Amino acid sequence: MPSSPNPAPLPKAAPAPFYEQVKQLILRQIHSGAWPPHQKIPSEAELVAQLGFSRMTVHRALRELTSDGLLVRMQGVGTFVAEPKGQAALFEVHNIADEIASRGHRHRLEVIRMQSETANGERSVALGVREGQPVFHSLIVHYENDVPVQIEDRYVNPAVAPEYLDQDFSSETPYVYLNRLAPLTEGEHVVEAVLPSAEEQKLLHIPATEPCLLIRRRTWSGRRAVTSARLLYPGSRYRLEGHFGS
């Protein structure tokens, strides 16, 4: 009986496209720990010289790794290895400094604006004050290991926190201060996907095309509205998590 023919050899896999080869080389550096989170990686021009691929190929590799959340590109600064995405609780109100500390990371904040403004129709409804009355406005950027992860755009009811504008928030966040004055009893969340404004792009070091997670949050203490806040997260650096239970 004739012997069975030997099986045909499997066809050799086609070589990966050049941009995929560049991605794998970069991923090898990240996964080996040679490039840890938050480390600035070589520029496009430096990678072209080091790896021997075209600038277009290197650019595509960096763009796709950024889209995958493995790199963070800051306009005018450079490209950095991304920290694994942090997460925020969606259905609970927490102090962002505590969330960041729970991951073993360092929190700091930068106060961009602290001022009194006249309540327009939207603010008067949100805070339960008469239109034209003064309300307090703060704009703050929160950082995780020196990477901006949240813009906190907050309006505060002066009747609840009359000395809000006098506070030094370098030692505690507005959340901690306000919750001490008027403990939170009720909250409202609205979540949207948005594109950042020009100012937000600059504050978060992100391009105009990067989607962001926006939480519009109102809080009450008893029957009094305390704050109306707009919390903006870069989509590439954060995710939201909620838990349902019966």
Q: Which residue has the tokens 């190929």?
A: 57
* Other Cβ atoms closer than 10 A to 102: 10
Say how far apart CA 58 and CA 65 lie, in whole Å. Answer: 11
pLDDT tens series, the chain, 246 aa: 444 444 444 444 456 788 888 988 998 888 888 888 878 899 999 999 999 999 999 999 998 888 777 888 777 778 888 766 554 444 456 789 998 898 889 999 999 999 999 999 888 888 988 989 999 999 999 999 999 999 999 999 999 999 999 999 988 999 999 999 888 888 888 888 899 999 999 999 999 999 999 999 999 988 889 999 999 999 887 766 555 444
Angle at 96 between CA 93 and CA 152, to 5 degrees: 90
Whether residue 199 is found in the same domain as residue 127: yes
Say how far apart CA 217 and CA 214 lie, in whole Å. Answer: 9
Handedness of CA 165, 166, 169, 172 (dihedral sign): negative
Whether residue 100 is found in the same domain as residue 61: no
* Other Cβ atoms closer than 10 A to 85: 13
Q: In angstroms, what CA-CA distances link 227 with 74, 95, 102, 158, 240?
A: 31, 15, 25, 10, 21
Say how far apart CA 71 and CA 68 lie, in whole Å. Answer: 8
Residue 51 domain flag = yes
pLDDT tens digits for range 103-137: 889 999 999 999 999 999 888 888 988 989 999 99
Per the structure, the complete domain to which residue 220 belongs is given by 86-241
Say how far apart CA 143 and CA 200 lie, in whole Å. Answer: 14
Q: What CATH code is carried by the domain that includes residue 52?
A: 1.10.10.10
Tell me which of 31, 56, 81 is where a domain ends.
81
pLDDT tens digits for range 108-117: 999 999 999 9
Residue 26 domain flag = yes
Tell me which of 30, 59, 81 is where a domain ends.
81
Whether residue 39 is found in the same domain as residue 126: no
For the chain, what's the residue count? Answer: 246
Residue 12 domain flag = no
Residue 191 domain flag = yes
Say how far apart CA 75 and CA 196 lie, in whole Å. Answer: 14
Whether residue 48 is found in the same domain as residue 103: no
The pTM of the full predicted model, rounded to 2 decimals, is: 0.64
Whether residue 41 is found in the same domain as residue 63: yes
Total domains, the chain: 2
